[in-house]
Structure 1
């Protein structure tokens, strides 16, 4: 290794002959006999001429990589910030020309965070407590003026939205990291993202969504997926995942169930443990867990204390869906995967590093679950995490709870600063989705007046400590930069895609098979009818789409499997669009003729679970034009909620100006469903296929705000086989439908017998719904699935198909 002094580095900028990336974890041993004690700091740099134990190289002309012998890799935009102590390279982030305790990567990350938190000016901490929600969509290596303004105000956390502009997003992340490196203390950006494999219109990664992983009933598959996802996130410059989503999918109509780990608390617990351990740990080439490191991503479990018990399935992003209800008093069942799972990891990182609070109000007439406010403002609910179970990680609010036009349920009459004060009283550390630094600072001042200046200041510094610790543990202070070319290779690589599809195949559940699907015999390609799928144009919270009729899988891929027969599309005849041209409607699809179908071996019909009309809400349940509550449906055909299980007075409702509670009942109202024509497509194939030729239905909980379950009784009797997927790529069905891969997955949810059964279950009760039974006597319950031999019964079903847990098993700490 070359002898390189600090002066040499300053003169040359970079040096060739880098020693590859060494250990990436803070606190790595370098052979020193004894670490300095905190009282020994600050430490002066080595005398000039001291032998260096590090080397450097320039990366993408934007930053310099420093490789320490036996220590972490550093990254700097300004090479003059490198100082040498004991022959090793460190970053002089506060610019005092010496090595401070918190700058020394040999020291414990927790201690470093505590030291910097005490050293920080209190006026700089409000910016650290904000996660900006506007710093997305930039795809260049420059920092726009509006972003510089935010960074100058102290913002050090933001969402990084990445689709296919991988290199551009990575370049933007690097540019902002270089900018904040030059600011006081050089505190790096903590970039976060919603899950990129998410089920409700956000994700682009091909790795299976959480509910799909749960269908494997194999936590090891979650480990495999999240190990890859963490590498993907770090390659993009993302260091915090707003997830994994930890809510138990107890209410079947809730539109966010595809991002949860299923309807059972124990299965959710084990999948959450596996996913979070893999996400937060760095693994060596042998696959051994190394704990925190260069590939680690902070997990922000959400939405504490569990958001799945949504009244009538409505989503708490919307004021009309703000209530969680507990008709069977099973509030604590939702805590199981948080407490027993995320706080008790099997991996070396021990516990989830952060938690996001739910928007929802936990309803109880006598306020058994605390004040009727969103979790961010609830001492009771935040206290469960912080006080009852000793959580010392970051507690962040969900997005936009401070804004007047945001999601400040129960505290609408407070000012933004008063909301900050109330959240601090509850124990919150961070505020998501806005850049209201002034409101945060004002709220802190209010809190000082109400709680006492010394106590308030100490609490604010403790919040800073937690936020800084999440950066120190993963080596972000040492190297926040990424190589844009590696980003593209990791995220868009062919190996990644193929590996992800292999995982997806392990999540497909076969719920019916009367012999239509059997092990492939290696004969020539079958002739198969695959109908075009109609998608109506809709506009809603998660974007606008235009009506279309498409093959469910790329034609080139389908042709690799089949001699393909499909439909054509005639001239559009629907209502004119904004351009004045007629729009496409379902009747414009010209289905294959009987002559074309005559030679088909079978039909493979791809369909989606019910898509309820959302308008501008997340998951629907409210008609914005008539201002009426409507039912969320799990069936394609029109559903009117007038059965015996439909309550005529809702459990919870908003407080009205006259002091009464709003009745949110939808009794007698009809559901609004966008994709009812999916059933028309299935039934057309069932009626028109030649006699004796089977119809295989592949149903996927995919699309904008999909409901995970379905009333399959509408099409099951006339189907020969049914495959079920959870926000997977339709390509994943093909190897199973053609018998090349034997199905092995199990239902992680229940499929209802009818909408009456849906109405009869309790929102808070795991697995309490009457399930559908087919003519063969198979009940489509949690844990049901078929392989080529029949119903699967193995160690997975033995473990999880038992009475569900109703509260955490971990003891309280107080």
Structure 2
């Protein structure tokens, strides 16, 4: 036995040594590459004065160029800069990829040994900041890091300074997925404690309050801008007509008119009536509606590549764009991954589909802003295969050409400008075609004032972001979004009620008005928080972040809940990420509430009637798994005999 233990000890030690050597090889290789990249950068742009005009001499030529002149028209500045750009700079402008920082707000240049596996993975698989900025000439990035506000601001300033040292000093557009909820999904949303906390988009829709949604957008805009973020990779205008779909939590529900109203208010909050210096641009997604996924499977993965329309309801999914996003002048649009089966002249995914991008979006609907593909539709990476659904047979270079021919302007989640350079040099794509897209990207940068001053106040950010007023507004929205699905005269709870609680992070908050007890037998009522069920999958790295598949509780899961709530009168609160099947739980509880990111603090106020819940369901709740299977992916509210219909919601 001792001999076996010694063998295992040396085996483990050998594995650790091999891993450490591998890490050091990668570390020193990346550090060497970083040094070479930084040597490609020049000096910082001096601030000069000429003819009474003070300007940043971004190309360091000692004179005032039109693109450096804040008094010149946006179109003249765009034209002047485009004419000065070389092919490499134009190609780099057409890519936006994920970017990361260290925990201290410094550029992520080398692998980071971290207890957070995501930080470790991203620091290894993502290109370094300097590679993308200095070498590949890119100037748009999707920031992944969640830090304190001052550190996020510091990072923004640091990479803007790096961009200033490039040949033409083109500033960086920093983009982000949603950060104001309680969900942490690197493929869709990023939990950022420094910001005020709000309900999910479903929760915003549950309030039915467009003024509140616009106010949310305005507050989120201010917090983003304070740390240097100027592009929101949201909202999602997709419709939740297929209840099993794993991205429903980011939508405004299944009703097209409700989604249109929410989308319009959301974009107006972020951008204002027109895009300007105080705006955060919105990249509304996913045109022309990514909700009707076959069997609810998500097209991040090969098994979910098909979008289907058995109810012949394609046009319904466009309404949130035509009556919401476009009315609010959304700056940018993102198509989804899926193939709109049978809807166009060829069954290829939206980003490759000329009928969708050029024919519908640009020609018919007259959209003139940036069209950016969803992430990683071109090349395979360490994160998974390229999601080139319908064109898997094409090479990465052929895919790039097809995207540009379809009418898209930017490539999301990619850092391969060299392929565009090759296409131009081979005569397959003209530089004039690139100019069309480059000008769109630059136009937004100029309009938002990034060329004149891309820097933020780091000290102000730490005091301003997540301030008390913003947080109180978020709590107000959380309370208002909470839905009372059922109430058999048990709510609101009376002061002094003895409560046994499960599923709460901070159950002691119930002591503010009631008395928390340790055993169900000692309680007057039971309060339990549960989550929407889903299938746990792990074939692909990011599958673990997608709650998709089943909506029913397994026999074991359901037994656990029912055995608890059968002991005393009970209040069940479910976090509705998707339309869960709650039929058996509903029968056994005295009160049933739905929340969309309501904190324990706010929930306590709701339970005791200090905050009156006003939420209405943004989708119907099915009564059985059989009903879920029989509904059609593209039709709203078509589940047979739903437990609770769309729009249901009680109050006190």
Is the TM value for this pair above 0.5? yes
Matched, 1:203 2:186: no
Partner of 1:537: none
For 1:595-620, what per-residue CA distance to the aligned partner results, in whole angstroms no more than 9, with x for missing partners?
xx2xx232111111112212245897
Tell me which of 279, 282, 290 is aligned to 1:307.
Answer: 290
For 1:481-510, what per-residue CA distance to the aligned partner results, in whole angstroms no more than 9, with x for missing partners?
112222222334343323211111110111
Partner of 1:127: 92
Partner of 2:553: 636
Alignment of 1:198-597 (within 5 A): 199=183, 201=185, 202-204=189-191, 205=195, 206-281=197-272, 291-345=274-328, 351-364=329-342, 368-383=343-358, 384-404=360-380, 405-445=385-425, 448-449=427-428, 456-518=430-492, 524-531=495-502, 533=503, 552-566=504-518, 592=519, 594=521, 597=522
Partner of 2:566: 687
Instruction: Report the Cα offset of residue 631 of structure 1.
Output: 9.5
Tell me which of 578, 602, 613 is aligned to 2:536.
Answer: 613
Instruction: Report the Cα offset of residue 130 of structure 1.
Output: 0.9
Contact 1:753–1:771 (8 Å) recurs in 2: yes
Contact 1:196–1:203 (8 Å) recurs in 2: yes
Q: Secondary structure of the residue that 2:566 maps to in structure 1?
A: helix
Alignment of 1:637-716 (within 5 A): 637=554, 677=557, 679-689=558-568, 694-701=569-576, 706=577, 708-716=578-586
CA–CA distance in structure 2, aligned partners of residues 687 and 527 of structure 1: 16
CA–CA distance in structure 2, aligned partners of residues 556 and 105 of structure 1: 56
CA–CA distance in structure 1, aligned partners of residues 424 and 332 of structure 2: 21
Contact 2:245–2:548 (8 Å) recurs in 1: no
**Residues 1:425 and 1:739: Cα distance change in structure 2 (over 3 Å):** same
Contact 1:355–1:394 (8 Å) recurs in 2: yes
**Residues 1:331 and 1:97: Cα distance change in structure 2 (over 3 Å):** same
CA–CA distance in structure 1, aligned partners of residues 311 and 351 of structure 2: 24
Q: Secondary structure of the residue that 1:184 maps to in structure 2?
A: coil
**Residues 1:686 and 1:144: Cα distance change in structure 2 (over 3 Å):** closer
**Residues 1:80 and 1:180: Cα distance change in structure 2 (over 3 Å):** closer
CA–CA distance in structure 2, aligned partners of residues 619 and 149 of structure 1: 25
CA–CA distance in structure 2, aligned partners of residues 184 and 302 of structure 1: 33
Contact 2:100–2:108 (8 Å) recurs in 1: no
**Residues 1:491 and 1:162: Cα distance change in structure 2 (over 3 Å):** farther
**Residues 1:479 and 1:619: Cα distance change in structure 2 (over 3 Å):** closer
Instruction: Report the Cα offset of residue 87 of structure 1.
Output: 3.5
CA–CA distance in structure 1, aligned partners of residues 489 and 248 of structure 2: 31
**Residues 1:336 and 1:114: Cα distance change in structure 2 (over 3 Å):** farther
Q: Secondary structure of the residue that 1:506 maps to in structure 2?
A: helix
CA–CA distance in structure 1, aligned partners of residues 397 and 100 of structure 2: 23
**Residues 1:559 and 1:388: Cα distance change in structure 2 (over 3 Å):** same
CA–CA distance in structure 2, aligned partners of residues 168 and 611 of structure 1: 36
Instruction: Report the Cα offset of residue 159 of structure 1.
Output: 1.4
Q: Secondary structure of the residue that 1:329 maps to in structure 2?
A: coil
Contact 2:144–2:190 (8 Å) recurs in 1: no
CA–CA distance in structure 2, aligned partners of residues 614 and 114 of structure 1: 49
Q: Secondary structure of the residue that 1:163 maps to in structure 2?
A: coil
TM-score in terms of structure 1 length? 0.68
Structure richer in helix, relative to its length: 2
**Residues 1:769 and 1:200: Cα distance change in structure 2 (over 3 Å):** farther
CA–CA distance in structure 2, aligned partners of residues 200 and 211 of structure 1: 16
Instruction: Report the Cα offset of residue 261 of structure 1.
Output: 0.9
TM-score in terms of structure 2 length? 0.84
- Name stretches of at least 5 consecutive residues in structure 1 with no aligned partner: 1-76, 282-288, 346-350, 534-551, 567-591, 622-629, 639-675, 774-779, 789-814
CA–CA distance in structure 2, aligned partners of residues 248 and 619 of structure 1: 23
CA–CA distance in structure 1, aligned partners of residues 269 and 539 of structure 2: 36
Contact 1:137–1:161 (8 Å) recurs in 2: no
CA–CA distance in structure 2, aligned partners of residues 162 and 557 of structure 1: 31
Matched, 1:148 2:130: yes
Instruction: Report the Cα offset of residue 123 of structure 1.
Output: 2.8
CA root-mean-square deviation: 2.5
Contact 1:310–1:325 (8 Å) recurs in 2: yes
For 1:732-778, what per-residue CA distance to the aligned partner results, in whole angstroms no more than 9, with x for missing partners?
322221111222110011101211111111101122222434xxxxx
Size of the aligned set, in residue pairs, is 579
Instruction: Report the Cα offset of residue 225 of structure 1.
Output: 0.7
**Residues 1:713 and 1:143: Cα distance change in structure 2 (over 3 Å):** closer
Contact 2:275–2:331 (8 Å) recurs in 1: no
**Residues 1:683 and 1:769: Cα distance change in structure 2 (over 3 Å):** same
Instruction: Report the Cα offset of residue 128 of structure 1.
Output: 0.6
- Name stretches of at least 5 consecutive residues in structure 2 with no aligned partner: 1-41, 111-127
Instruction: Report the Cα offset of residue 337 of structure 1.
Output: 0.8
Partner of 1:803: none
Question: Which has the higher Rg, Structure 1 or Structure 2?
Answer: 1
Q: Secondary structure of the residue that 2:609 maps to in structure 1?
A: coil
**Residues 1:755 and 1:617: Cα distance change in structure 2 (over 3 Å):** farther
Instruction: Report the Cα offset of residue 511 of structure 1.
Output: 1.0
